[in-house]
Chain A
Amino acid sequence: MTPRKDLLDIQSLTDEELDFILTNAVPFKNLFKRSVKKVPTLRGRTVLTLFYEPSTRTRSSFEVAASRLSADVINFSVNTSSVVKGESVLDTISTLEAMRTDYVVVRHGMSGIPNLIARNTTASVINAGDGFHAHPTQALLDVFTLKEVFGGDLRGSRIAFIGDIQHSRVARSTNLLCRRMGMSTAMLAPGSLIPRDTPPEIAAFTNWDQVFAWKPDVIYLLRVQMERQNVPFIPSIGEYHRIYGLTDERLKRVRDSGIYVMHPGPVNRGVELNDSVMTYERCLINQQVENGIAVRMSVLYWLKPGSVEGTGS
């Protein structure tokens, strides 16, 4: 396996690398059951988190992952309130270069910012979500979770993504990785939130009945963006919930069919799901969170800061 500097998207991962990350996440997860959860793997290394979009969950997940590997973790405080363009990000990066950081975990509202950073630093860049583009560690933790549930082999399993496909980096990354694992994937969203020219192998549905008829093993719910340029995508939240949300009636059908439910978090109760989903026995949301730490430890363990090869797709 050639040393890899950055994790920017799912496309650029080889099968061997995928296998390496997912396999090594298992022993890392086993650590969590011990009283001492820490290993010295990254002692003396520095992991810096650079979040231009507010995110408590993902950021904390990376922080916990890095500290369990004994790395020093620094939260670099940046402006999350306004649009910070790539040129200003690069100014920050040149500052960070001087600090000799080993890993930079970046989240940004604009697609491609991690790619831009990766080209301009010797540190390993981990994309923690950029614009609508990619969220590779989310995809990895999702697939890791699915492998736990379905016993390793995901071929032939079916997962339906429901919600804002257009503006979801999770829909892109997780869907892509699920297909690479041999799963069939589908999507359901209002027409105004389905992008044009999505890959033809993703089944596109217009209502829940079609989704149920497709016999999914997993329903993956996504958050919804209401409007852009002051033009709404959907008439109202209430209408969205009634037509596309996981309502109590639909949850009953989900339960009757033994379908699992996933969500990247944070959830919007009364929009894409109802409160009752959170106590549903096949709801995987908390398992996703726990696995996120193990998978991110595995990613940090796998990446090689300073290696010249491999800066993404």
Chain B
Amino acid sequence: MNKQRLFKGGDIASEDSAKLQRGDVLVEGTRITRVAPNLIAPPDCEVIDCTGKIILPALFDVHVHAREPGQEQKENIRACSEAAINGGVTGFVMMPNTLPAIDNAGVVKTVLESAARCRIPIYTSGAITKGREGKELAAIGAMKAAGAVMITDDGFPVANPVVLRRAMEYARDFGLIVASHCETMDLSGKGAMHEGSVSYSLGLEGIPAISEEICLDRDIRIAQYTGAHIHIQHVTTARGMNTIRRFKEEGVKVTCEVSPHHLIFNHEDVGDYDTNYKMNPPLRTREDNAALLQGLVDGIFDVIATDHAPHTPFEKNNDFASAPFGITGLETALPSLHHYFISKVKLGWDLLVRRYSAEPRRLLGHKAVPVIEGGAAEFIVFDPNADTVFDRDFIKSKSVNTPFLDKSMRGRVDMVIHAGDLLLLR
């Protein structure tokens, strides 16, 4: 496509500046060819008015459950990719807890074939152990050769430290990131939510914070010992976060992520057993919300990731203990982060761009996609003054298990541009 488009009058966000820069953006083919104020549109150029809107690099999510193969009633790769686009995300990494698990080169190839039919690039992780059973190493080298970008048994920890040690020693030499879902299963037991005052009053078995913190500490120490790159998924507690901070200061190759829901919600939001607030790790306390947000500002968290986890209404319309863990997130992440934090000046656009666009891409060894002359045309047009209502018509995911269902958030993704193509125009 050699079509020219001029995005006129918007304010451009970048990871390097807390201030937005007024600028017109000229796109030719797959590249941004000019960025400057008051550009004159060339002949035959489509002009798109972006007055009052924000232009920011498109987002990238390193933690997504696309449910394919095996659980297509919840989600499939195609629907998941459309959900991503709907939320301004132009690339993501799939988790291997499918049926069967993505634990060998054959399944990696299969899901990547499905992914190749989507409008955005989609990457996959592979399992650390066969069937994610925590016993025997999966075909890590073969999966890497087939295109897997990280390994994880996400949904479960690798309970046996010897298995994790071997996996890290092995994966290290393939340059694969080992991503950890940190949980001490015996301590979690049958817990359904954070162990605390709310689990007490609702009479639900709790998942204590130490279940996560002990495993997190253990996994980073094994990474330190083996020299592997460990990525801690969905950190939820202040204490766990501070453990990561300390190991980072020691120079351990540890990166970590925080999810929007752990920043926004806490265990009090579970209310009347609302299963759209049930996920693993669970929502913690109000104090943890504040600490995690500060950690994001301080740069402890490398990336924001949603842990998009679709489930059907039938599965979620269950008693709290029996309903599955997980909520969707791809479509709600940016508007909700804007609504709760950016519009209230608790987070800057630079931080959002760094943590949900640039750093996730760099984590996979890709380049960031700043909105600059000569850069890739990979950006979002976001209207900070419009509202998004997350009703069934809006949601492109096959599932609607989100606390934001039928709620309104300030801010709306109006356009998504990927490789020069206008993937979304609202």
A-side interface residues toward B, CB under 8 Å? 11, 85-87, 89-90, 108, 110-113, 115-116, 130-134, 169, 172, 195-199, 228-229, 311-313
Number of A-B contacts (CB under 8 A): 80
Chain B nearest Cβ from A108, distance in angstroms: 8
User: What residues of chain B lie closer than 8 Å to A312, measured between beta carbons?
Assistant: 272
User: What residues of chain B lie closer than 8 Å to A11, measured between beta carbons?
Assistant: 201
Q: Is the CB of B322 within 8 A of A172?
A: no
Q: Is the CB of B200 within 8 A of A195?
A: yes
User: What residues of chain B lie closer than 8 Å to A89, measured between beta carbons?
Assistant: 319
**B189-197, B212-220, B293-301, B406-414 - interface stretch:** B189-197
User: What residues of chain B lie closer than 8 Å to A199, measured between beta carbons?
Assistant: 197
Chain B, interface residues (CB within 8 Å), range: 20 to 34
What separation, in Å, do the CA atoms of A11 and B271 have in the docked complex? Answer: 12
What separation, in Å, do the CA atoms of A228 and B319 have in the docked complex? Answer: 20
What separation, in Å, do the CA atoms of A90 and B316 have in the docked complex? Answer: 12
What separation, in Å, do the CA atoms of A115 and B272 have in the docked complex? Answer: 7
> Mostly helix, strand, loop or mixed at chain A's interface?
loop
Q: Is the CB of B196 within 8 A of A196?
A: yes
B145 contacts partner chain A, Cβ-Cβ < 8 Å: no
**A86 with B201: in contact, given A116-B318, A196-B195, A312-B272 (CB under 8 Å)?**
no
Q: Is the CB of A131 within 8 A of B204?
A: yes
User: What residues of chain B lie closer than 8 Å to A130, measured between beta carbons?
Assistant: 203
Report 26 cross-chain contacts, Cβ distance below 8 Å, ordered by A residue. A85-B322, A86-B322, A87-B314, A87-B315, A89-B319, A90-B318, A108-B319, A110-B320, A111-B273, A112-B203, A112-B319, A116-B318, A131-B203, A131-B204, A133-B202, A134-B203, A169-B203, A172-B201, A196-B195, A196-B208, A228-B189, A228-B190, A311-B272, A312-B272, A313-B271, A313-B272
> Mostly helix, strand, loop or mixed at chain B's interface?
loop
Q: Is the CB of A132 within 8 A of B203?
A: yes
B-side interface residues toward A, CB under 8 Å? 186, 189-190, 195-197, 200-206, 208, 271-273, 314-315, 317-323
User: What residues of chain A lie closer than 8 Å to B186, measured between beta carbons?
Assistant: 229
Q: Is the CB of B195 within 8 A of A110?
A: no
**A111 with B321: in contact, given A132-B203, A229-B189 (CB under 8 Å)?**
yes
One of B189, B315, B322 near A110 (C-beta < 8 A): B322
One of A86, A132, A198 near B319 (C-beta < 8 A): A86
Q: Is the CB of B203 within 8 A of A113?
A: no
Q: Is the CB of A198 within 8 A of B314?
A: no
